[in-house]
Structures are given as C-alpha cells and as structure tokens.
C-alpha cells in the first residue's frame, strides 16, 4: 500500500506495496542511483541498461570484483507462496546473469519465513518450491550444479547457529525503527533474523568477500538490518553486503502484479491459450478512440504490453525502440500490438514448458540430501 509506506516512512516487506515514484524511494531511504555505478559494470545486464535495476547499495565493490575476476557472491532467497510468474522471473534472470559473470551463487528456500509468515505447511512449501521455483529456474537456464542451494529449515549447524547468534547483535528498538513497532511479531522477527543469516552465511564459507543481493525494494529493510549487523560480529569479519533494487512489474490490469490476483500476472505454467487471453485483456496506454490514438499516439510508459516487451520479451534495443516510436507516433494500434505480444508470449511458454518437463531429471542436483 502506498499510503502505508508514506504514512509510516517505512517499507513493509510483508505488506503489499505499489511504488509510483522510484526517485522518491532513492531519496527517502538512502538507496543510491544505479546510474552512479553502471559504468564500472563490465557487461551490464539489460535490466541495468533499461533502468529496471534502478538502485543499489555499495554495488561498486561487486562491480570491481566482476571486472578484476576476484571472488564475489550472489545470494538470493525465494519464498514459495504461490505461482511463479514473470515478476519472479526477473530474479531468476539476475541469478543466471551472475552465474555467467562468475559469482559463487547461493540460493535458499525461505521455508521458515513462508511457514511463520504465510501460514503454509512445510509439505506445501516444499512442493511449491520444487514445482514452481526449481523447475522454472532450471528451465530458464540456472545451472543447479553450479550453485549452493539450501532450505532454511535444513541447512547445516553452522548456518543454524549463525541465525541464532544474530539476535545478540541487534536491539528491539532497532528492529522497531526498521520495521515499524506496531506490526512486529515473533514470526516476523524470526524470519528477519533468518534472512540476515542467509545473507551473511556465504561469507562464512567463502571468506570475507563482496556479496550482492538482488531484490525488489520491499526487501530493503532486511538489507539495511544485515548491513548494520555485519560489522558487529567479533568472531567473523563480514563485509557488509551490497544490494541492487529492481522495479516491480505492474499488474496486467494496472496496480501491482500479485500472486493472489490471477488476472494480474502470467505464470510460467499458464497455458499459451490462457496467457494469450490475459494479454488481450491487459491495460494499455491506448486512447479512448482509434481516431484519438492516431492523432495523439499511445502512451507506452503506461502500458502493460510495453512493460512485458521491456522486461522480458524484447532483448533487442532496436526492436523495442521501433515499437515505442510507432506507438507514440500513432502508427501502432493496441489491438495489433496485443496480438504481437500474445504471439511472443505463447511461443515463449510453449518452449518453456518443454524445457520445464526436461528439467525434472535435474531437480535432484539442487537437492542433494
Ligand atoms: N524475504 C524474501 C521474500 O519474501 C525471501 C528471502 C529469504 C531472501 N532470504 C533471503 C531474499 C535472502 C534475499 C536474500 O521473497
């Protein structure tokens, strides 16, 4: 909720939040603009070049490590709670990128967080993790044998001990200041401290080194907490983690893309026919009448279709620019454009579903025990 964010000046990682103005977030929460570091990044990802990854904390040291071939870690956690949709694919794309760039990749299933804050059973959580996340991850191109993967509930004693030791290095007042006092519960505290452990744990194994956590803005409170706690340990010399922030995709009908609103997203398991229907019903930046659209042109910055192209369906900048130019010039009408988008999505999903079935044999590479 925007209201909630601005009323309390807090980001609630367990709430639902729609951010309208990312430049405000950058100012209000002390996130740095990604434009400040992009020049240092050896092969920037298209999300970086397209300002979808808009912000960061201390990414410079990760960029330096990438450029000089020094060791660095990329860590992310997935909380299984529903269908894996194109919003989730954004994180998968970043994992693939960092895997290619030579990072030690850590992926954890936040099953403790899902259990404590979403009320799912551990069995349901495990099933969702495999069917919705792991299979899609492999099908998209994440190499399961080239990453460190674990469930929060099942990782080794070192990790479990770290997650408990963290409680010594933070005060209740700090937690209240970061998350807001009224809504804090033991469950939330538990999952916040577990997430801090997720982010610091790789350095226990790899030694002190730059660590990047690519997240959506809602996760920033956890990043701030971890950065504060990192240097308080005497027994471990943790380097405070770096982070990047990607914009959220909008829902297909406007508003937020959310797993709880079926019409707001396209899941990677949707049938091509269902995905087509959702695209055809999506909100565009079109005008009231064709007449008006031809005269004034469309508004791609308000269009769910253009967003799908930018985030997922068009890697080629020239092709994307042509769509943009034709739209604002009033040459491209929404009906035709939706058909084109529906074709691209259907083609993508058909291929993806094949890959997903083939991925079944590789899931075991994630889960070794
Ligand atoms: N809290 C994250 C979510 O809601 C999941 C998560 C757990 C995570 N541990 C993490 C994300 C560590 C980044 C880094 O999706």
- pLDDT at residue 11 above 50? yes
Separation between Cα atoms, residue 122 and residue 112, nearest integer Å: 8
- Which residue in this structure is represented by tokens 């989730």? 88
- pLDDT at residue 2 above 50? no
The distance from CA 130 to its chain's CA centroid, rounded to whole angstroms, is 18
Nearest residue by C-alpha to atom 12 in ligand 1: 77
According to the model, what pLDDT value does residue 1 have?
A: 38
In the chain, % of residues over pLDDT 90? 86
- What is the Cβ-side half-sphere exposure of residue 222, based on CA atoms within 13 angstroms? 29
Separation between Cα atoms, residue 168 and residue 188, nearest integer Å: 17
According to the model, what pLDDT value does residue 265 have?
A: 97
What SS3 class is residue 328?
A: helix
Separation between Cα atoms, residue 147 and residue 161, nearest integer Å: 22
* Pocket mutation for ligand 1, best pick of 12, 14, 17, 78 (most atoms within 8 Å of C-beta): 78
- pLDDT at residue 14 above 90? no
Distance 275 CA to ligand 1 centre (A): 28
What SS3 class is residue 150?
A: strand
Mean of the pLDDT values across residues 29-57? 97
- pLDDT at residue 252 above 90? yes
Nearest residue by C-alpha to atom 10 in ligand 1: 77
Mean of the pLDDT values across residues 250-277? 94
According to the model, what pLDDT value does residue 259 have?
A: 87
pLDDT in tens, 274-312: 999 999 999 999 999 999 999 999 999 999 999 999 999
What SS3 class is residue 153?
A: coil
Q: What beta strand segments (E) does 65-195 contain?
A: 73-78, 104-109, 147-151
pLDDT in tens, 96-148: 999 999 999 999 999 999 999 998 999 999 999 999 999 999 999 999 999 99
According to the model, what pLDDT value does residue 107 have?
A: 98
- pLDDT at residue 6 above 70? no
Separation between Cα atoms, residue 265 and residue 339, nearest integer Å: 17
Distance 110 CA to ligand 1 centre (A): 6
Give residues with Cβ within 8 angstroms of 106, minimum separation 6: 73, 74, 75, 76, 147, 148, 149, 198, 201, 202
Mean of the pLDDT values across residues 206-235? 96
Kindly report the average pLDDT of the chain as a whole number: 94
According to the model, what pLDDT value does residue 182 have?
A: 82
φ, ψ (nearest 5 deg) of residue 255: 70, -160
Quick one: tokens of 31?
């996130």
Mean of the pLDDT values across residues 163-172? 97
Binned at pLDDT 50, 70 and 90, residue 12 comes out as confident
Which carries the bigger pLDDT value, residue 21 or residue 320? 320
Binned at pLDDT 50, 70 and 90, residue 369 comes out as low
Find the largest Cα–Cα distance for the chain. Answer: 70
In terms of C-beta density within 10 A (0-12 exposed, 13-18 middle, 19 or more buried), how is residue 157 classed? exposed
According to the model, what pLDDT value does residue 3 have?
A: 38
According to the model, what pLDDT value does residue 16 have?
A: 75
Q: Is 215 in the pocket of ligand 1 (CB under 6 A)?
A: yes
* Pocket mutation for ligand 1, best pick of 17, 76, 248 (most atoms within 8 Å of C-beta): 76
Q: What is the DSSP string of 284-309?
A: -S--SSHHHHHHH---GGG-HHHHHI
Separation between Cα atoms, residue 223 and residue 245, nearest integer Å: 11
Q: Is 219 in the pocket of ligand 1 (CB under 6 A)?
A: yes
Binned at pLDDT 50, 70 and 90, residue 256 comes out as confident
Separation between Cα atoms, residue 217 and residue 271, nearest integer Å: 30
> pTM for this structure?
0.95
Distance 229 CA to ligand 1 centre (A): 17
Binned at pLDDT 50, 70 and 90, residue 260 comes out as confident
Phi-psi region of 18 (alpha: psi -120 to 50; beta: other; left: phi over 0): beta
Mean of the pLDDT values across residues 52-77? 98
* Pocket mutation for ligand 1, best pick of 14, 159, 192, 219 (most atoms within 8 Å of C-beta): 219
């Amino acid at each position: 909720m925007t209201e909630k964010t601005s009323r309390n000046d807090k980001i609630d990682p367990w709430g639902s939040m729609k951010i309208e103005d990312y430049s405000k977030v950058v100012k209000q929460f002390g996130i740095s603009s990604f434009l400040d570091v992009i020049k240092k990044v050896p092969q920037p990802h298209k999300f970086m070049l397209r300002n979808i990854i808009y912000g960061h904390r201390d990414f410079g040291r990760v960029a330096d490590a990438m450029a000089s071939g020094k060791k660095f870690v990329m860590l992310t956690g997935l909380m299984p709670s529903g269908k894996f949709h194109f919003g989730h694919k954004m994180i998968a794309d970043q994992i693939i990128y960092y895997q290619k760039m030579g990072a030690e990749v850590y992926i954890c299933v936040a099953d403790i967080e899902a259990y404590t804050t979403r009320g799912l059973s551990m069995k349901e959580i495990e099933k969702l993790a495999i069917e919705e996340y792991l299979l899609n991850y492999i099908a998209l191109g994440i190499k399961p044998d080239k990453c460190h993967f674990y469930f929060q509930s099942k990782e080794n004693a070192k990790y479990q001990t770290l997650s408990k030791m963290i409680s010594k290095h933070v005060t209740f007042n700090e937690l209240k200041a970061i998350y807001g006092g009224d809504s804090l519960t033991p469950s939330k505290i538990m999952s916040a401290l577990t997430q801090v452990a997720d982010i610091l744990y790789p350095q226990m194994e790899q030694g002190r080194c730059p660590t990047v956590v690519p997240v959506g803005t809602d996760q920033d409170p956890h990043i701030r907490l971890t950065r504060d706690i990192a240097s308080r340990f005497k027994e471990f010399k943790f380097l405070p983690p770096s982070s990047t922030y990607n914009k959220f995709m909008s829902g297909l009908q406007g508003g937020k893309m959310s797993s709880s609103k079926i019409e707001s997203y396209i899941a990677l398991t949707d049938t091509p026919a269902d995905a087509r229907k959702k695209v055809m019903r999506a909100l565009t930046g079109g005008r009231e009448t064709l007449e008006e659209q031809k005269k004034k042109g469309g508004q791609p910055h308000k269009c769910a279709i253009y967003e799908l192209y930018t985030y997922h369906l068009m890697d080629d900048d020239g092709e994307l620019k042509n769509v943009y130019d034709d739209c604002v010039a009033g040459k491209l009408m929404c009906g035709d454009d939706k058909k084109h988008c529906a074709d691209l999505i259907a083609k993508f999903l058909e291929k993806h579903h094949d890959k997903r079935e083939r991925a079944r044999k590789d899931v075991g590479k994630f889960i070794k025990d």
